[in-house]
Amino acid sequence: MTSKIINMAERIKDKEDLALEALFRSDPVPDDGFTASVMAQVRRTIWVRRLSMPIAVAIGAAISAKPLIQAVTIVPGLLSSIFGSSVGFDRLPVDSLPQLSTMLIGATLLMAVIMGSRILED
Protein backbone atom coordinates (compact mmCIF):
# COMPACT_ATOMS: atom_id res chain seq x y z
CA MET A 1 0.00 0.00 0.00
CA THR A 2 2.79 2.39 0.98
CA SER A 3 4.69 1.64 -2.22
CA LYS A 4 1.54 2.30 -4.26
CA ILE A 5 1.18 5.71 -2.58
CA ILE A 6 4.86 6.42 -3.28
CA ASN A 7 4.42 5.40 -6.93
CA MET A 8 1.37 7.63 -7.24
CA ALA A 9 3.31 10.49 -5.68
CA GLU A 10 6.08 9.94 -8.23
CA ARG A 11 3.58 10.09 -11.06
CA ILE A 12 2.09 13.43 -10.04
CA LYS A 13 3.85 15.95 -12.23
CA ASP A 14 4.27 19.65 -11.61
CA LYS A 15 5.41 22.38 -14.00
CA GLU A 16 9.07 21.67 -13.43
CA ASP A 17 8.55 17.99 -14.14
CA LEU A 18 6.84 18.76 -17.42
CA ALA A 19 9.51 21.28 -18.34
CA LEU A 20 12.24 18.78 -17.55
CA GLU A 21 10.52 16.05 -19.54
CA ALA A 22 10.31 18.43 -22.49
CA LEU A 23 13.93 19.39 -22.01
CA PHE A 24 15.16 15.80 -21.97
CA ARG A 25 12.84 14.52 -24.67
CA SER A 26 14.66 13.20 -27.72
CA ASP A 27 14.03 10.93 -30.66
CA PRO A 28 15.09 7.29 -30.42
CA VAL A 29 18.65 6.73 -31.58
CA PRO A 30 18.66 4.74 -34.86
CA ASP A 31 20.60 1.51 -34.69
CA ASP A 32 22.85 2.26 -37.70
CA GLY A 33 24.83 -0.94 -37.31
CA PHE A 34 25.42 -0.48 -33.59
CA THR A 35 23.89 -3.84 -32.66
CA ALA A 36 25.87 -5.61 -35.37
CA SER A 37 29.07 -4.00 -34.10
CA VAL A 38 28.39 -5.04 -30.50
CA MET A 39 27.50 -8.57 -31.55
CA ALA A 40 30.70 -8.85 -33.61
CA GLN A 41 32.67 -8.02 -30.47
CA VAL A 42 30.62 -10.42 -28.38
CA ARG A 43 31.23 -13.25 -30.88
CA ARG A 44 34.94 -12.43 -30.92
CA THR A 45 34.96 -12.64 -27.11
CA ILE A 46 33.22 -16.01 -27.27
CA TRP A 47 35.80 -17.37 -29.72
CA VAL A 48 38.74 -16.02 -27.76
CA ARG A 49 37.40 -17.73 -24.65
CA ARG A 50 36.78 -20.97 -26.46
CA LEU A 51 40.21 -21.03 -28.08
CA SER A 52 42.46 -19.55 -25.41
CA MET A 53 42.61 -22.60 -23.14
CA PRO A 54 43.12 -25.23 -25.87
CA ILE A 55 45.82 -23.07 -27.50
CA ALA A 56 47.54 -22.51 -24.16
CA VAL A 57 47.43 -26.23 -23.41
CA ALA A 58 48.75 -27.10 -26.89
CA ILE A 59 51.65 -24.66 -26.62
CA GLY A 60 52.44 -25.81 -23.11
CA ALA A 61 52.33 -29.43 -24.20
CA ALA A 62 54.59 -28.75 -27.20
CA ILE A 63 57.15 -27.03 -25.02
CA SER A 64 57.09 -29.60 -22.26
CA ALA A 65 56.86 -32.66 -24.56
CA LYS A 66 60.58 -33.36 -24.70
CA PRO A 67 61.28 -33.17 -20.95
CA LEU A 68 58.08 -35.08 -20.32
CA ILE A 69 59.15 -37.93 -22.62
CA GLN A 70 62.54 -37.96 -20.95
CA ALA A 71 60.87 -38.14 -17.57
CA VAL A 72 58.71 -41.05 -18.66
CA THR A 73 61.60 -42.99 -20.17
CA ILE A 74 63.73 -42.58 -17.11
CA VAL A 75 61.13 -43.97 -14.71
CA PRO A 76 61.88 -47.72 -15.32
CA GLY A 77 65.59 -47.16 -14.86
CA LEU A 78 64.95 -45.03 -11.82
CA LEU A 79 62.70 -47.64 -10.23
CA SER A 80 65.11 -50.46 -10.89
CA SER A 81 67.92 -48.35 -9.43
CA ILE A 82 65.94 -47.66 -6.28
CA PHE A 83 64.52 -51.10 -5.73
CA GLY A 84 67.40 -53.10 -7.25
CA SER A 85 69.87 -51.82 -4.74
CA SER A 86 69.40 -50.16 -1.37
CA VAL A 87 72.19 -47.71 -2.04
CA GLY A 88 71.86 -47.26 -5.78
CA PHE A 89 71.24 -43.53 -5.93
CA ASP A 90 74.78 -42.82 -7.00
CA ARG A 91 74.17 -44.92 -10.11
CA LEU A 92 71.10 -42.96 -11.23
CA PRO A 93 71.27 -41.84 -14.89
CA VAL A 94 71.23 -38.18 -13.95
CA ASP A 95 72.16 -37.01 -17.47
CA SER A 96 68.84 -38.19 -18.85
CA LEU A 97 66.74 -36.33 -16.25
CA PRO A 98 64.66 -33.55 -17.77
CA GLN A 99 66.44 -30.31 -17.27
CA LEU A 100 64.93 -28.09 -14.66
CA SER A 101 65.55 -24.94 -16.67
CA THR A 102 63.63 -26.35 -19.68
CA MET A 103 60.68 -27.20 -17.50
CA LEU A 104 60.73 -23.77 -15.88
CA ILE A 105 60.81 -22.05 -19.27
CA GLY A 106 57.92 -24.23 -20.44
CA ALA A 107 55.86 -23.41 -17.36
CA THR A 108 56.65 -19.70 -17.65
CA LEU A 109 55.64 -19.65 -21.31
CA LEU A 110 52.42 -21.49 -20.48
CA MET A 111 51.63 -18.90 -17.82
CA ALA A 112 52.47 -16.08 -20.24
CA VAL A 113 50.17 -17.52 -22.92
CA ILE A 114 47.29 -17.88 -20.45
CA MET A 115 47.78 -14.37 -19.10
CA GLY A 116 48.19 -12.97 -22.61
CA SER A 117 44.95 -14.56 -23.73
CA ARG A 118 43.17 -13.07 -20.72
CA ILE A 119 44.55 -9.62 -21.57
CA LEU A 120 43.47 -10.03 -25.20
CA GLU A 121 40.04 -11.05 -24.03
CA ASP A 122 39.76 -7.95 -21.81
CB of 62: closest distance to another protein in angstroms? 29
Secondary structure string (H, E, C) spanning 28-46: CCCCCCHHHHHHHHHHHHH
- Measured from the Cβ of residue 56, the count of other Cβ atoms closer than 10 Å reads 20
Burial profile 81-105: b = 16 or more Cβ within 10 angstroms, e = fewer: beeeeeeeeeeeeeeeebeeeebee
8 touching another protein, by CB under 8 A: no
Q: Which of residues 36-75 bind another protein (CB under 8 A)?
A: 37-39, 41-43, 45-46
24 touching another protein, by CB under 8 A: yes
- Of the residues 5, 12, 23, 100, which one makes contact with another protein according to CB under 8 A: 23
Q: Which residues bind another protein (CB under 8 A)?
A: 6-7, 10, 14-26, 28-31, 34-35, 37-39, 41-43, 45-46
